[in-house]
Structure 1
Amino acid sequence: METHVYEVNLGWQYARLGQLSSPVLTESIKVATPPEFPKGMPGVWSPEHLLVAAVAGCFMTTFLAIAENFQLDFDDFDCRAVGKLDKIDNTLMITEVDLFPELLLTDESDVEKANRVLQKAEKACLITHSIRSTVFMHPTIRTAVKEYD
């Protein structure tokens, strides 16, 4: 596989606020120290949120690719992600990320296949492979209620 490069630019705005952008993206994101820290800013994406979001986003896109390969039909996919910040050896770090994917299947007979696809997505996520945090998945799989005339 060839090497890929992802460029991000950060411009400091004021206080603890910066603006993230990329030459290949149309939207920018404000980023700041989270409110749990001195001079943190509520209501603004923090690096901690972005890290957890990167894990969730990678999990979703990996799931979608594998689901397509497995021809898994589903009606909906959502994923809540929770990152845990701890102090390890006097160093702050995100120690774990819990993923809570919720999958709505179109066919009840696909539950086993859906579990396999979710497990494969968890193992194949490149962002998960790129961080030291432990990632745990807690899936919920439901099937759509079919209405008959």
Structure 2
Amino acid sequence: MAEHIYDVDVTWSGNNAEYRSYSRNHEVTADKKPPIPGSADPIIGRGDVTRWNPEQLLVASLAQCHMLWYLHMCVEAGVVVTDYRDHATGIMNNQKFLLVVLRPEVTVTDASMRAAAKQAHAEAAKRCFIANSMNFPVEHEPTIVVAQQDPS
């Protein structure tokens, strides 16, 4: 497999000459993409609650990777997904992630697709390279919902 390289820039300019009150705000950028406003977790590092912190971005990366592989696996299995939402949670203790739980709720077009839709989560979990790179468990608690059929 070919090697892939991902370049990201993190820019900070919040020096106000005092260690404890320096700004934790920064921007994460990459070529041709909108900037991500970043900061520290307010609870851990006096950050800005209105900006993304690295811990949230890690959980988001895991959820995105799973979703993208899941949708790919559904296409291959003939499962028609009309909606996908995930409420992912990361748990940290002693400055280390212990666990991330993904809770995707997926809507499919037909009840006959439920089993294949559930199996696609297992396949996506095997393929998500970000989850496979972690040194903590990434668990999955999927829910499969069938879209409302038009009675007419």
Q: Taking structure 2 as the reference length, what is the TM-score of the superposition?
A: 0.90
**Does structure 1 residue 20 correspond to structure 2 residue 39?**
no
Structure 1 counterpart of 2:139? 136
1:133 Cα offset (Å)? 2.0
Structure 1 counterpart of 2:130? 127
Q: Give the SS at the match of 2:43.
A: coil
AA partner of residue 121 (structure 2): L
Structure number having the greater strand percentage: 1
Of 83, 94, 109, the match for 2:90:
83
1:148 Cα offset (Å)? 2.0
AA partner of residue 103 (structure 1): V
Structure 2 counterpart of 1:6? 6
Q: Give the SS at the match of 1:112.
A: helix
AA partner of residue 66 (structure 2): F
Structure 1 counterpart of 2:60? 53
**Aligned residues of 1:103 and 1:140 also touching (Cα < 8 A):** yes
Structure 2 counterpart of 1:108? 111
Runs of 5+ consecutive residues of structure 1 not aligned to the other structure: none
**Does structure 1 residue 148 correspond to structure 2 residue 151?**
yes
Q: What is the CA–CA distance in structure 2 between the aligned matches of 1:6 and 1:119, rounded to whole Å?
A: 27
AA partner of residue 10 (structure 1): V
1:29-88 CA distance string (max 9 Å, x none): 11111111242221110000000000001011111111111121121111111000112x
AA partner of residue 145 (structure 1): Q
- Number of residue pairs matched by the alignment: 144
Q: What is the CA–CA distance in structure 1 between the aligned matches of 2:142 and 2:98, rounded to whole Å?
A: 20
Of 51, 58, 73, the match for 1:44:
51
AA partner of residue 118 (structure 2): N
Structure 1 runs (4+) greater than 2 angstroms displaced: none
Q: Give the SS at the match of 1:146.
A: coil
Structure 2 counterpart of 1:30? 37
**Aligned residues of 1:16 and 1:41 also touching (Cα < 8 A):** yes
Identity of aligned residues (%): 28
Runs of 5+ consecutive residues of structure 2 not aligned to the other structure: 15-22
Structure number having the greater helix percentage: 2
1:95 Cα offset (Å)? 1.2
**Aligned-residue RMSD, C-alpha:** 1.1
